[in-house]
Structure 1
Amino acid sequence: MNNQTPIRPGDARMSGPDQGGPGGEGVDLHRLIALFRRRLPLFLAVALVVMVGAVVVTTQATPLYTATSSLTINTREQNVVSTEAVLSGLSAETGVVDTEIEILKSRQLAQRVVEALNLEEDPEFNPTLRDPGPMEALVGGIAKLFGAAAPDSARERLSAVEAQKQKEKVVDNILNRLSVRRAGLTYVMNVGFTSENPAKAARIANMYAERYLLEQLEAKFDATRQANSWLNTRLTELRGEVQQAEASVEQYRTANNLLSASGATLTEQEISTYNQQLATVRATQAEAEARLRTARAQLAAGSNGEDVGEALGSQVVQTLRARRAEVSGRVAELSSRYGPRHPDMLRAERELADIDAQIQAEIRRIISNLEAQVQVARERTGSMAGSLGSARGTLAANNAAAVRLNELERNAESVRTLYQSFLNRFQETTSSEGIEESDARIVSPAAIPTGASSPNVPLNLTLGLLFALGAGLAAVVLAIMLDTGVLTAEDIEHKFNLPHLGSVPLLASVADPQDRDETPPDYIVKKPLSSFAEAVRAMRASILFSRIGHTIQVISLTSALPSEGKTTTALCLARVAAQAGVRVILVDCDLRRRNVNRLLGVEPEAGLIEVLNRSSTLQDAVRLDEPSGAYVLPLAKDSFTPKDVFGTVAMDELIADLRKRFDLVILDTAPVLAVSDTRLIGARSDAVVFLARWRKTPEKAISAALKVLEQSGAHVAGIGMTQVDMKAQARYGYGDAGYYYGDYKKYYSA
């Protein structure tokens, strides 16, 4: 057992493609080409099937015709009346155009077209009306044969749910044939429809355009009609509210005596009148008091009252003064004629005195009248002032009540204004009803197409070719992903981080036709200079130099699974080493298969188990391989035992004895994943050669087996490939020496 640390599958022993080397600079084009060439038959087969399918579909497809109708959104509107429409027109924006395109694709519009053209009765869109094809007829016949009830006709009576489902299928078929596209960044929308009949395609495309415009008009009609109905209802409500508000104002005005005329309340008018009258009576009072004060002042100054202003204006006083003047003149005449004591004189004087008394009496009466006038004026002024005060109190109360009145009037005015605005809008919408216009127009109606739009043979074949190439590449990629075996030395080094020890060719791929029936060990003896023998010698050299500084003397050959070519490779290595003059012995350690016996055609009586059991000596059990000169320690016919014979001291002693007797000891062991014996044998070997069958052994199995060997402490020298098809490797195995086999195979002798 050696002390060398075993190489683990995850250890970085070789530089990967990302660590340098030819593949580290980028994509290895040669490798990709090799991978593709390896799967070229699969690629061609898949591509051919897809291409044939595309050709068949194209040639068998029913010709379809596409008719296109063009619509545009109006960017200019006609204003017949200067009123705002209930439903505003569309703005010419990108989002609006895209929205209208989606409306053209809506199911509701498709249903209207179906109903308008009665497309439910068209077999092209209603599959239930079509004549049954061969397959459908066969299914129907089988159903009748087994007594299943089949419908007599597609027009049979359907339930409401089934009828709706059938209608929805027709609508789906219509929508599948419809194409709506915007012409660049313009406001033009192209509505295309595809049908088996060119005239039908044009008719349906035009119907789509007409129904779209009609739907716009109906939307505006409905909006205007609904607006008028709502406005009318609202006006009725507002009219009642106006009447109620105005009645509330008048009732409150009457209840609070807030009646008015000419814009002012009656109380305000009354106060105004009282103010005017009070000013008048005050002026009259002041005038009367002034006349009275003047008269009293004159009398107080010693006047006899004749110069009082009122007396001067009195007709009585004037008459009395005229009589006094006449009597005074007569008294003067009588005095000069008769003297003072004359009776006429005395009578005249008495008359004069009587007139003066009358004048004084009249003056006193005038003064008394002035005093009465002043008193009356004062009373009128007081009365008028009282009435004014009372009116002002009433006005104050009215002003307090007017706060609520103003609130009621404002409420009535707001309701009246709202009613008037609704009334105006109702009149506008009523006048605009019936003159609505659609927001789009037909630029170009669909014409009957003269040529089929489908199938497009050049396009279909081009797409078929592209799909064929894509399917072929996908198949190649899938095959590569599903290919879990190892193919080249590069695969081994990159996936398992172990050296590639060499590749043993499949004899049929390198031998001449007359030699292909030979077994590989016999072929080595027969053709020692052949490429097959050289491949085995190369593997032997790689094994011997796998541990620099260590002598490789005991080699264990194993694999992950059975039938990997271990025994054949082991015997070939033994014969090649013997041909090189090395004392070599091959020990068959596979207790269950004993393939060495089969290859050599021997059935010995004693073998490895007998040597370990001490029932036979090594010298008696070892056999000479006469064709090559190598020695073989086979297994006897009945050598299987359940005992652990490889972990015993006897096994250690045997290997030590073989080291002394031979230069090279080759141990042919069982598969690692199948038998645990190999772990014990591998730990006692200088190197373990792990063999994997070319393109067959799964990577997971190899990794699992290597992990088992690692845990047992065995030193895995590397991985070798067996049964390599050199012809295939020469075509596809880029990255492996076999890729160049076609260049160097003539170097070997036949």
Structure 2
Amino acid sequence: MTSPLNKSSAHEANTEDAVATLLSFLKTVRKQWAIIVACLLLGTGLSLVYSKTLPRIYQAQTMLELDPNAFRPLGEKMDSAMPLGTTDFWNNQEYYETQYRIVTSSRVLERTVRDIALQNDYAFFGLKSPPARPMTVEETAAVLRGKISVDPVKNSRLVFIKVEDVDPKRAKRLCDAVANAYIDQNLEKAVSATSDSITWLGGQVDQVKKDLETNENSLHEFKRSNDLPSTSINESSNMIRLEMQDLATALIRTRTRKQELMARYGELAKIGTDNPDSLPASELLSNGYLTDLRRTYVDAARTRKTLLAEGKGENHPLVKSIDQKIAESKTALLAEIKNIQGAVERDLAVITREEAGEAALYDAAHKRAVDLNMKEIEYHRLDRSRDQNEKLYNMLLEHMKDADLARMMKANNIHLVEAAVEPTSPIRPRMLVNVAVGGVVGLLIGLGLGWLRSNLDNSIKTPEQLEQDLGITFVGMLPAVEGPHAEGGKKRKVVRPGLGGPNKVAELVVHDNPRSGIAEAARSIRTNLMFTNPDKPHRKILVTSAAPAEGKTTVACSIAISLAQTGQRVCIIDCDLRRPRLHRIFDRAGDHGVTNVLVGEATIDEVARPTRVNNLWCIPAGPIPPNPADLFHSERFRKFLEELGETFDRIVIDSPPLVAVTDSAIISTLVDGTVFVLRAFYTTRALGRQGLRTLADVDAPVIGAVLNDVDLTRHEYSYYHYYYYKREGYGSTNENAVPPGDDNRDAASV
């Protein structure tokens, strides 16, 4: 989990990056403001001139209403102007899109051209005289299509037809003509569709009528061939169904009666001679005579048992009398039972015949029902076909009548809401918009060119850039020295008072005008050099650069003079044995110099002479040798520097550029520190890195870098104005000021 502290740090870092990016952008804008303003003015001017050359375009417009649910004079019935099966289409948004395309279709536009003879209006084509070849209707319609636009009103059925033209009257005339052509074309389409519908419906009515007659004849023939009643076949089917229900009920009832008789017959068959009194209760209840016979028989049998129980024997007259009575009642009872059995048997035979007859009748009715069901299927098929054709015939006949009425009414679903009005002001060119767009484009181009120029310029400009890109310590900057003797042969257009003039050398401005901004800058560099290593001060200082014309000599002179102004004995040596300059600056032309000492022709006392700057001695280069690098690599040069160190407090050495020759790299190994000079807006990053790499290859001690020839009027140095107080320095302006050159007071302060 990210801690709140980390989140806060990340937020602050992002804020700083954003601020840095914004400041960088603002600096680029301030630096390249001339290009940006020029592009802005150029874009604005070009857009204004271009807008002035454009023709004035006028626009006329008319409003139409497109009603998908058109007025239906026949009520809710489907309007014949609408093809069958397209009801959903009218409620779909695709209808509107289709109509928008139809407005600009070739058919509508060609009709418009023919209606107003537009092909003969040569001014419409932007011609001042009739063309050699007459324009065709198709060509005119193609030109007209480019001037028409369709603009629907959102969330409504309204649409604007807009026509643009250089002539406001012609724009209105064309707009009305296109709207009328579109409305007429839509009406003709509806009428044509209705006529086509009537023709098609008439053919369908005749065909369906023939099919209906054929169905009716087939149905009649089917009834006749199958002996079907004139009533509905459904009624016949219902009659048979009721008959079958009655027969089924009778058959069930007969079979039930039969089962009852069979059960009665079975019970009577169980009665034998030994048990004539075992009669079913149902028989006794239904036959009183049989009940009496059974009672007589039962009473006689009970009396006999009583007599036997009394001890009377079988031969007792009473017993014999009762036996005779029992035999008579038994005979009568069995005879009656037999008669009943015969009657039940005859009833059973009768009911069996009834069952067979009723079953035969039911089977016959069932067969008729099955046959009728098969005929009913065919009958219903024929009747359904006849009924469908009859309904279709009635519907087609009704629609044909409705279509005929709609054709005579000529209803249109497109209506003109607002006619076109002659425009009074042009819609194009829009001066303000074009100028604004041109200004914005010019501004963007200017910003792009400024950014591109800033990124393509890889020269060192500011101290921050110097330290960031080269990784070297910044020890100070030296403003541009104005005057005819400025290093590099460049002459300034402006020479400020006190910095140039007769008998004044630009490299000695620190001495000639010690209260100038350049002198203050030199003293700032001196202070930084003295305090970089206070325990072991840099006594032998080499001043060099990566390439020629970067101001090494000017910086060396300024450092030497500022050191001399502190009261120290300073000697400046010209070790640039290829293009020496100190002899001209200190008026030592023709004198002996470094080369004379190295070859043994002179001593240090002979070549080191004081200058017009107090405490400053100068040793010029002397005659230019053919092999300067060999001289600096010799032991004599090392001893020469040691002897100078014993005589002077500080030694400042002017040398050739590092990238061009190896002299400076050799000397840098023999000194206490090297000052690397870069010229603002001149030395590139790559060249600076190459020079520092040369020093690093020989392990030379590098004190820092000086940014030379700085133009403090540039916006890049706005933060450094307070440092150098512009270019005029900071001090008293009264007459009692310390005269130039009397600046030994700095020695005590330092």
TM-score class normalised by the smaller sequence: 0.5 to 0.7
Structure 1 residue aligned with 2:507 = 521
* Larger relative contact order (Cα-Cα within 8 Å, sequence gap ≥ 6): 1
Structure 2: which amino acid aligns with 1:174?
Answer: K
Cα shift at 1:559: 3.7
Q: Is the 8 A contact 2:476 2:525 kept in 1?
A: yes
Q: Is the 8 A contact 1:625 1:632 kept in 2?
A: no
SS in 2 for 1:634: coil
Alignment of 1:369-384 (within 5 A): none
> Where does structure 1 lack aligned partners over 5 or more consecutive residues?
1-17, 132-151, 287-374
Alignment of 1:326-341 (within 5 A): none
Cα shift at 1:199: 0.6
Cα shift at 1:735: 1.6
Structure 2: which amino acid aligns with 1:664?
Answer: R
| Corresponding residue pairs, total | 603
Q: Is the 8 A contact 1:221 1:436 kept in 2?
A: yes
Choose the corresponding residue for 2:557, options 564, 571, 576.
Answer: 571
Is 1:735 aligned with 2:729?
no
Percent of pairs identical after alignment? 19
Choose the corresponding residue for 2:61, options 60, 68, 86.
Answer: 68
Structure 2 residue aligned with 1:195 = 165
Pair 637,700 (structure 1): closer, same or farther in 2 beyond 3 Å: closer
Structure 1 residue aligned with 2:626 = 639
Structure 1: which amino acid aligns with 2:402?
Answer: S
Alignment of 1:509-548 (within 5 A): 509=494, 511-512=496-497, 515=500, 519-547=505-533
Alignment partners' CA distance in 2, 1:545 and 1:123: 90
Pair 478,125 (structure 1): closer, same or farther in 2 beyond 3 Å: farther
Q: Is the 8 A contact 2:516 2:727 kept in 1?
A: no
Is 1:619 aligned with 2:583?
no
Pair 703,220 (structure 1): closer, same or farther in 2 beyond 3 Å: farther
Structure 1: which amino acid aligns with 2:680?
Answer: W
Choose the corresponding residue for 2:710, options 701, 724, 730.
Answer: 724
Is 1:389 aligned with 2:363?
yes
Q: Is the 8 A contact 2:570 2:617 kept in 1?
A: yes
Structure 1 residue aligned with 2:143 = 170
Cα shift at 1:80: 1.8
Cα shift at 1:197: 0.7
Alignment partners' CA distance in 1, 2:698 and 2:28: 36
Cα shift at 1:201: 1.8
Choose the corresponding residue for 1:501, options 476, 491, 498.
Answer: 476
Alignment partners' CA distance in 2, 1:483 and 1:411: 100
Alignment partners' CA distance in 2, 1:71 and 1:199: 20
Alignment partners' CA distance in 2, 1:607 and 1:194: 89
Alpha-carbon deviations, 1:228-287, whole Å to 9, x = none?
8999999999999999999999999999x897873159999789889999999999xx9x
Alignment partners' CA distance in 2, 1:254 and 1:71: 66
Choose the corresponding residue for 2:233, options 244, 263, 266.
Answer: 263
> Where does structure 2 lack aligned partners over 5 or more consecutive residues?
1-11, 258-348, 483-491, 734-739, 741-750
SS in 2 for 1:541: helix
Alignment partners' CA distance in 2, 1:426 and 1:586: 125
Choose the corresponding residue for 1:78, options 71, 78, 87.
Answer: 71
Alpha-carbon deviations, 1:603-641, whole Å to 9, x = none?
8798767877x7777739955473443333627423346
Alignment partners' CA distance in 1, 2:200 and 2:546: 88
Give TM-score, length-normalised by structure 1.
0.59
Alignment of 1:641-660 (within 5 A): 659-660=645-646
Alignment partners' CA distance in 1, 2:548 and 2:635: 28
SS in 2 for 1:697: coil
Pair 712,64 (structure 1): closer, same or farther in 2 beyond 3 Å: farther
Choose the corresponding residue for 2:418, options 401, 424, 444.
Answer: 444
Structure 1: which amino acid aligns with 2:721?
Answer: A
Alignment partners' CA distance in 1, 2:476 and 2:465: 13
Cα shift at 1:467: 6.4
Pair 211,559 (structure 1): closer, same or farther in 2 beyond 3 Å: farther
SS in 2 for 1:555: strand
Structure 2: which amino acid aligns with 1:505?
Answer: A
Q: Is the 8 A contact 1:67 1:192 kept in 2?
A: yes
Alignment partners' CA distance in 2, 1:201 and 1:713: 86
Pair 281,431 (structure 1): closer, same or farther in 2 beyond 3 Å: closer
Alignment partners' CA distance in 1, 2:198 and 2:606: 118
Structure 1: which amino acid aligns with 2:531?
Answer: F
Give the CA RMSD over aligned residues. 6.3
Structure 2 residue aligned with 1:116 = 112
Alpha-carbon deviations, 1:347-398, whole Å to 9, x = none?
xxxxxxxxxxxxxxxxxxxxxxxxxxxx999999978965763664575577
Q: Is the 8 A contact 1:501 1:543 kept in 2?
A: no
Alignment partners' CA distance in 2, 1:235 and 1:78: 27
Alignment partners' CA distance in 2, 1:665 and 1:426: 126
Pair 389,119 (structure 1): closer, same or farther in 2 beyond 3 Å: same
Cα shift at 1:737: 2.2
SS in 2 for 1:735: helix
Q: Is the 8 A contact 1:575 1:630 kept in 2?
A: no
Structure 1: which amino acid aligns with 2:77?
Answer: T
Pair 90,272 (structure 1): closer, same or farther in 2 beyond 3 Å: closer
Q: Is the 8 A contact 2:609 2:618 kept in 1?
A: yes
Q: Is the 8 A contact 1:557 1:691 kept in 2?
A: yes
SS in 1 for 2:528: helix
Alpha-carbon deviations, 1:262-319, whole Å to 9, x = none?
3159999789889999999999xx9xxxxxxxxxxxxxxxxxxxxxxxxxxxxxxxxx
Pair 397,521 (structure 1): closer, same or farther in 2 beyond 3 Å: same
